[in-house]
Amino acid sequence: MVKAMEVKKIAVLGAGLMGHGIAQVAAQVGKYEVCMRDIEQKFVDGGMAMIRESLQRFVKKGQMNETQMNEILSRIHPTLDLKAAVSDADLIIEAVPENVELKKTMFREVDTYAPANAVIASNTSSVSITEIASATKRSEKVCGMHFFNPPQLMKLIEVIRGAKTSDETIQTVLNVAHKMEKETVLVKKDCPGFIVNRILIPALNEAAELYWEGIAERDDIDKAIKLGLNWPMGPLMLLDYIGSDTTLAIADVLTKELDPKFHPSTGLKQMVKAQLLGRKTGKGYYDWTQK
Q: Catalytic residue among 54, 122, 139, 146, which?
A: 146
The closest of 199, 222, 225, 221 to 210, measured between CA atoms, is 221
Tell me how far apart the 2 most distant CA atoms of the chain are, in Å.
55
| 245 CB neighbour count, 10 Å cutoff | 19
Catalytically annotated residue among 122, 123, 197, 265:
197
CA angle 279, 92, 277 (to 5 degrees): 15
Which residue among 54, 123, 125, 139 is the active-site one? Answer: 125
146 is catalytic: yes
Q: Which of 158, 166, 205, 244 is catalytic?
A: 158
Distance, CA of 191 to CA of 130 (rounded, Å) = 9
282: left (phi over 0), alpha (psi -120 to 50) or beta: left
125 classed as catalytic: yes
Report the DSSP beta bridge partners of residue 34.
Answer: 10, 76
Burial class of residue 86 (count of CB atoms within 10 Å of its CB; 0-12, 13-18, 19+): buried
Contact 248, 204 (CB under 8 A): no
26 to each of 93, 159, 244, how far by Cα in Å? Answer: 11, 16, 27
What is the CB neighbour count within 10 angstroms for residue 7? 19
Contact assessment for residue 76 and residue 48, using Cβ atoms and an 8 Å cutoff: yes
CA 131 to chain centre: 18
Residue 101 falls in the annotated catalytic set = no
Q: Establish whether 178 is a catalytic residue.
A: no
Q: Which amino acid is at 58?
A: F
Does residue 264 contact residue 252 with C-beta atoms inside 8 Å?
yes
The answer to whether the beta carbons of residues 165 and 139 sit under 8 Å apart is yes
Active centre residues (catalytic): 125, 146, 158, 197
